Structures are given as structure tokens and as C-alpha cells.
């Protein structure tokens, strides 16, 4: 079953939720990529915006770029904010430090 996960900027009341999901399943590689990106801020705004092009590779690569692009669109504008994550059902979770950079 799919569960879309979004970022939340906790420095606003109410918290600001990202417009687009950064993953579709908790615990998958896209989820880890999104958490790693959040932990490696600041991030560039325009990286990954080419995922629509024919040279973006196979479906796996297009998925990677799609979720990365969604993540970067939000994270770029929240370089130092306290962030959390929330799923489509309103369940919230902290962003755990990973010690990795994306």
C-alpha cells in the first residue's frame, strides 16, 4: 500500500507541508534519499528538474529523479528550519540524523 510522505517546516504555525511527496513508501530507498537530503541542507534548487527528458534513463532512474526533484523544491527554501515529516494520513515523525550526505 502506498503512503505518501511529505516534509513539514516546524518553524511555522501551523507547520508548512511540502506540496509534493518526497517518497511513496516509508523505509524504501526514496525515503532514505529524502531523509539524507534533509540532513545535508542547504541543497541546490534546480538539481533534478530534468527528470521529464527522454535521456533520464529507465523507470527506476526517472523515479529517483522525480522524488529527488520534489524534495529539493521544498528543502531549498528551508535551509536551516526545523523539519519533520508527515504522511498523507497526518502521522508525523521527526527527521532522524543519518550522518550521510545525499
Q: What is the pLDDT of residues 20-53, one digit of tens each?
A: 999 998 888 889 999 999 999 999 876 555 555 5
Tell whether the model's pLDDT for residue 5 goes beyond 90.
Answer: yes
Please check whether residue 24 lies inside any domain of the structure.
yes
Please check whether residue 83 lies inside any domain of the structure.
yes
Please check whether residue 99 lies inside any domain of the structure.
no
Please check whether residue 87 lies inside any domain of the structure.
yes
Please check whether residue 74 lies inside any domain of the structure.
yes
What is the mean pLDDT of the segment spanning 66-91?
93
Please check whether residue 101 lies inside any domain of the structure.
no
Q: Model-level pTM?
A: 0.85
CA–CA dist 36, 11 (Å, integer): 20
Please check whether residue 19 lies inside any domain of the structure.
yes
What is the mean pLDDT of the segment spanning 43-69?
72
pLDDT of residue 66: 85
* pLDDT bucket at 1, cuts 50 / 70 / 90: low
CA–CA dist 49, 28 (Å, integer): 22
pLDDT of residue 75: 95
Domain that holds residue 30: 5-94
Please check whether residue 34 lies inside any domain of the structure.
yes
The structural domain count of the chain equals 1
Amino acid at each position: 500500500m502506498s503512503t505518501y510522505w511529505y516534509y513539514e517546516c516546524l518553524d511555522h504555525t501551523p507547520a508548512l507541508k511540502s506540496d509534493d511527496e518526497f517518497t511513496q513508501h516509508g523505509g524504501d530507498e526514496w525515503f532514505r534519499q529524502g531523509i539524507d537530503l534533509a540532513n545535508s541542507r542547504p541543497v541546490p534548487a534546480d538539481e533534478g528538474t530534468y527528470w521529464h527528458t527522454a535521456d533520464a534513463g529507465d523507470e527506476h532512474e526517472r523515479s529517483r529523479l522525480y522524488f529527488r526533484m520534489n524534495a529539493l523544491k521544498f528543502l531549498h527554501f528551508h535551509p536551516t528550519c526545523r523539519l519533520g515529516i508527515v504522511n498523507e494520513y497526518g502521522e508525523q515523525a521527526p527527521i532522524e540524523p543519518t550522518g550521510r550526505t545525499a
